Structure formats: C-alpha cells, structure tokens
Structure 1
Amino acid sequence: MTALNYHHLRLFHRIAHEGSLTRAAEALHLSQSALSVQLQKLEQQLGHALFERRGKKLILTEAGRIALDYADTVFETGNELMKVLQGRPRAAQHVLRVGALTTLSRNFQLEFLRPVLGRPDVELVVRSGTMRELLAQLEMHSLDVVLATTAVRRDAGTDLHSHLIAEQPVSLVGRPGSNPEPLRFPEILRTVPVTLPSLDSEIRVAFDRVLSLAGIHPIIQAEVDDMAMLRLLAREGEGVAVVPPIVVQDELQAGVLVEHCRIPDVTERFYAIVQTRRFPNPILHDLISASVSPPRASAAER
C-alpha cells in the first residue's frame, strides 16, 4: 500500500469543513476542477467514497466521517507539535457524538455516559433534538448514537437498530407530608391531583391503561412532555407526579421528594439507536456493552 498523500488529505479536510467544493476552492486558491481531481485521487487511494452529493450539498459518507476524524487529529497533532516546546502537549482523543431527545432524563443520560466522562482520550459531543432530527443526523453519520425512550421500527428500508439499555420502574412521587393519609394506589388518584407525562409518552399510555381498568378518572393538574419540567413541577406541586425515580433521584436522596409507591405494569425503556456501519465507533460499542439496567432499589434504600 502506498503512503497516504497528506496534501490530498489536507484538501479533503478543508472541503469537509467548508461543506462545499466551491468555498474550499476559493479558500485554497484552486480551481474546482483541480480540487475535485485531488479529492478523487484520495478516494481512490483509500478505496472509499468520502462524500455523496445531495442536491448542491456535499454529505460525508461513513468513511468520510471517519477520515475527517483522523484528519482533524492529524492536523491538530501538527498544531500541537508547535506547542510541545512550550510544554503544552495534549493527548490524542477519540470523538463520541451522542444525540438525545430533548425530553430525555438528564440523569439517565449522565448515567449512560459516566464510563467515558473524564477520560482524556475521549472528546464527548452531546446534542439534543427531536427524534426526527436526531435520526436524520445519525443517518448522515454526524451522530454515533441516539438515546431515546422508543425503539425505531425495523423494516427492509432501514439499517437502524435499537438496543434496549435500561428499563426503569415508574412511581408516584410527591413532597413529604403533602399526603398525610397512606397512599393506596390506584384509589388515591380519585381525590389527589396528579402531574403526568404527555399523551405521546409510552409511560402515559401504560398509566392510562392501568387507571382505565380500575375505573378511575384522575384529577390532572398538569401534563408535561419534558422530564426536566416534570421534575420541577413534582417539587412544587401539592399532589403527586408520575415519573421514573431516576429522573428525581437527587430530590429523593435529599428528602425533597418521597416515593409513595411503584406503579405496577408501568416502566420506561431507554434505547441506544445506532446505524449498521462498516466502521463502528469502538468507544460506543464498549459503552453499550457495559450498559445494563440498574438494580431497582426501594425508596428506603435510596
């Protein structure tokens, strides 16, 4: 195998960061045709297409994303070489790009990412968005994984896979002393107001099914599609809230909230959605392999 042509790699690096052959050619003071020829030579040497055209846009392929990561490292190393004599070298890093639903529990995200936090060889990028936005970024190779509470549908037209990485119980929680009478589920919900996840939540669907079978129409004081907001309302409200304990674990440990009871037959599932790739991110593989559902400790144990 011939040695990598770093001149070609630098040209590719500029094209990728400019996102346009035209802008890169202008910045490099080259013609588009000359730049295109150099890019083709690099692709031939690597044996993979680095871009695909979508309209007027250049989109990195999976191989292109990997090549850009390495190119970033190569040229950052060149910059670091200038700093070595100043005693300020930096360790080489691998990049892990994670997408998470805007409504997903921050506590769960933290627990999932904890094994890589503080690792000097890992640069962590976390982006939030809707499911549609994040899956589009995953398919464009700008994300390595999407964290969500629903799995993607598998069919012949998709190469996305959903790994179940945790399943959490769901509880009724409230402020201490807000309900002096012993809480008997589900009867208590005939008289005590409740804060609920929104109707498009799988938790809500399962919760409504349980109450429907019991013939109970709850007094709904709020419906929230964001777990961070539900957490705040649970702290401020006079009634109870339906929430996975992991969302309010800090409040439970501090005694700001108490867990009244677990709701039978209602859980929240967390998925890591990935795309089938020829060059999977090894850090992500280790992270998903290490992810298991945490033990379901009782409120007293917490």
Structure 2
Amino acid sequence: MAALNYNHLRYFWAVAHDGNLTRTAVRLNLTQSALSVQIRKLEEQLGHQLFERRGRQLHLTEAGRIALDHADAIFATGKDLLSTLLQVGAARQALRVGALATLSRNFQMAFLKPVLGRNDIELVLRSGGAGELLRSLEMLSLDVVLTDQAPARDALTPFVTHRIAEQPVSLVGTPARLAVAASLAERLRTEPLILPHSGSSIRADFDALTDRLNVRPRIVAEVEDMALMRLLAREDLGLAVLPPIVVRDEIATGLLVEAGRLPGIVETFYAVAVERRFPNSLLRELLAEKAI
C-alpha cells in the first residue's frame, strides 16, 4: 500500500473544518478545481468517499468523519512537535456523547466512568433535546445518545438502541416530612407530590399506579429536569417521584430519605447509536460493560 500523501490529507482537513470548498480554496490561494482534485486523490487512495454534497453544502460521510478524527490527531501532533522536542502522551481517540438535558447527571457519570481520566481519550459531551441529539447522531457528529426514551426505528432512521440500565423509582423526601409512618396509599393521598412531566414513562406508570390504588394525588410541581426535582425535594416542597440514583448523595448524607419503592415503576436508560460501517471502538467497550 502506498504511503499516505499528507498534502492531500491537509487539504481535506481544511475543507472538512470549513465545510465550504470555495471558501477554503480562497483561503489556501488555490483554484476550486485544484482543491477538488487533491481531495479526489485522497479518496482514491483511501478507497472511500469522504464528502457528500447536499445542496451547496459539503457533509462528511462516515469514512470522512473517521478521516477527520485521524487528521485532527495527526496535525495536533505536528503542532506539538514544532513546540517541543519531547512528545508526551499518546494519540487520543475521540468519543462524542450526547445526553438528554433532563437526564440524571449521576447516571451519565456512571456510564462514562470507565473512560474518565484516560489520557488516550478525548471526551466530547453535548446535551440537548431528543430531536436535536438524534439528528446529530444520524449526521455522525455524535457516537451515542443517552436517553430514557427509546426512539422509533424504521428504514429511514436505522437507530440501534441498547438497554443499558434500569433504576427503581421511589418516593423521596426530607426526614422531617417522612418522620411519621404511613402506607404508600396514604402518602400518595395526603402528601404534596413533585412529579416528572406528563410525557415521561415514569409519569405514565405513576398515573397507572394511582389509578389502581384509587388515589387522587396532590401535585405541587410537574418537572422535566431531574436535577430540579432534586432541588425541590431538598427544599421540602413535597415528596419527589424519582430514581434514588438522582439523589444518591443526598440520601448518603441523610438530607433526603426514601419513603419506599413504587411497585412496578422503573426508569430504563438507553444508549442509542446508528448502524455504522466503522463503529467507534470506545463505544463498543462501554456497551459491552453496560448492556443488559
């Protein structure tokens, strides 16, 4: 196999970061056709198309995203070489993780723990809404999305959904609020409740539970963000319906306590990827440890 032409790679790298062939050609003082030829030669050598055109925009293919990861590492190493004679550390591999903005931070940390602190890994973390993150996943700018709702899969959206954890759901409150013993039905009937938003799976299961118990709960707050639910529970606004992992530290210190598990209610966590010809090996390692 012929040696990689780094001039071709540098031209590709510049276009990939600009996202615009014409603008890059002007910046590099080249004609657009000359720049296109250089990129085509790199594609021929690698045996894969690196860009696809959508309208006037260039978008990286999966092979292009992988080539860009390596190009970033190669040229970063070259920059280090110019500044010092001693190169410290090894090449770093990127892992791009998206997570729902409302997802438990404790769960996210538990999922990522095997790769935290590794000098050979660059961890890129993004949060946002489900639609935004899944679109980024489809465009290959993310390797995985962490969510508590499994997305639909069809021929146009080839998501691969891994069920990686299940957490029980409990009633959680301050020790003062839970000082007097009471049954689950009594607490649900008499105590003010902080509930997840109506679109969540926990809320659907909770509503079914209160219907079975013939209880009409007194709702003081409906919240999307688990972190905000935790804060409201700490402020003693009421009993919160959430997985204990969300308030693990508060339970450990006695600031909050569990009133009891809610029967039949769990929160399921998913790692969503897409079918890829070149899957990220780091993601494979994480999923091998976490999948259930």
Offset from partner CA, 1:247-302 (integer Å, 9 cap, x none): 00010001110011000000000000001111100011001111157xxxxxxxxx
Q: Could you say what secondary structure the match of 1:272 adopts?
A: strand
Paired AA for residue 9 in structure 1: L
Offset from partner CA, 1:151-188 (integer Å, 9 cap, x none): 12222332111100000000000001113321311232
Aligned length: 292
Paired AA for residue 263 in structure 1: L
Q: Distance in 2 between matches of 1:254 and 1:179?
A: 16
Q: Counterparts in 2 of 1:204-219, with a 5 A limit?
A: 204-219=203-218
Give the TM-score normalised by the residue count of structure 2.
Answer: 0.97
Q: Distance in 2 between matches of 1:90 and 1:134?
A: 32
Q: Distance in 2 between matches of 1:254 and 1:57?
A: 53
Q: Distance in 2 between matches of 1:156 and 1:133?
A: 19
Paired AA for residue 249 in structure 2: D
Q: Could you say what secondary structure the match of 1:222 adopts?
A: strand
Paired AA for residue 11 in structure 2: L
Offset from partner CA, 1:82-104 (integer Å, 9 cap, x none): 2332x463421000000000100
Contact 2:234–2:256 (CA<8 Å) still a contact in 1?
Answer: yes
Q: Counterparts in 2 of 1:48-87, with a 5 A limit?
A: 48-85=48-85, 87=86
2:32 aligned partner: 32
2:157 aligned partner: 158
Q: Distance in 2 between matches of 1:95 and 1:75?
A: 15
Q: Distance in 2 between matches of 1:29 and 1:251?
A: 60
Q: Distance in 2 between matches of 1:244 and 1:43?
A: 49
- Segments of 4+ moved more than 3 angstroms: none
Note if 1:42 corresponds to 2:42.
yes
Contact 1:170–1:243 (CA<8 Å) still a contact in 2?
Answer: yes
Contact 1:160–1:273 (CA<8 Å) still a contact in 2?
Answer: yes
Contact 1:80–1:89 (CA<8 Å) still a contact in 2?
Answer: no
Give the TM-score normalised by the residue count of structure 1.
Answer: 0.94
Q: Could you say what secondary structure the match of 2:221 adopts?
A: strand
Offset from partner CA, 1:51-70 (integer Å, 9 cap, x none): 11122211111000000000
1:250 aligned partner: 249
Contact 2:14–2:24 (CA<8 Å) still a contact in 1?
Answer: yes
Q: Could you say what secondary structure the match of 1:186 adopts?
A: helix
Offset from partner CA, 1:194-215 (integer Å, 9 cap, x none): 0000001100000000001111
Unaligned runs of 5+ in 2: none
Paired AA for residue 253 in structure 2: A
Paired AA for residue 260 in structure 2: C
Contact 1:15–1:24 (CA<8 Å) still a contact in 2?
Answer: yes
1:189 aligned partner: 188
Q: Could you say what secondary structure the match of 1:261 adopts?
A: strand
State which drifts further: 183-192 or 276-285. Answer: 183-192
Offset from partner CA, 1:30-51 (integer Å, 9 cap, x none): 1111111111111111111111
Q: Counterparts in 2 of 1:87-236, with a 5 A limit?
A: 87=86, 89-236=88-235
Q: Distance in 1 between matches of 2:34 and 2:237?
A: 69
Q: Distance in 1 between matches of 2:211 and 2:77?
A: 62
C-alpha deviation, 1:238, in angstroms: 4.0
1:261 aligned partner: 260
Paired AA for residue 205 in structure 2: A
Contact 1:80–1:90 (CA<8 Å) still a contact in 2?
Answer: no
Q: Could you say what secondary structure the match of 2:268 adopts?
A: strand
Paired AA for residue 122 in structure 2: E
1:277 aligned partner: 276
Q: How high is the sequence identity, in percent, across the aligned residues?
A: 57
Contact 1:183–1:260 (CA<8 Å) still a contact in 2?
Answer: no
Contact 1:83–1:89 (CA<8 Å) still a contact in 2?
Answer: no
Change in Cα spacing, 1:238 to 1:152, as seen in structure 2 (3 Å) is closer
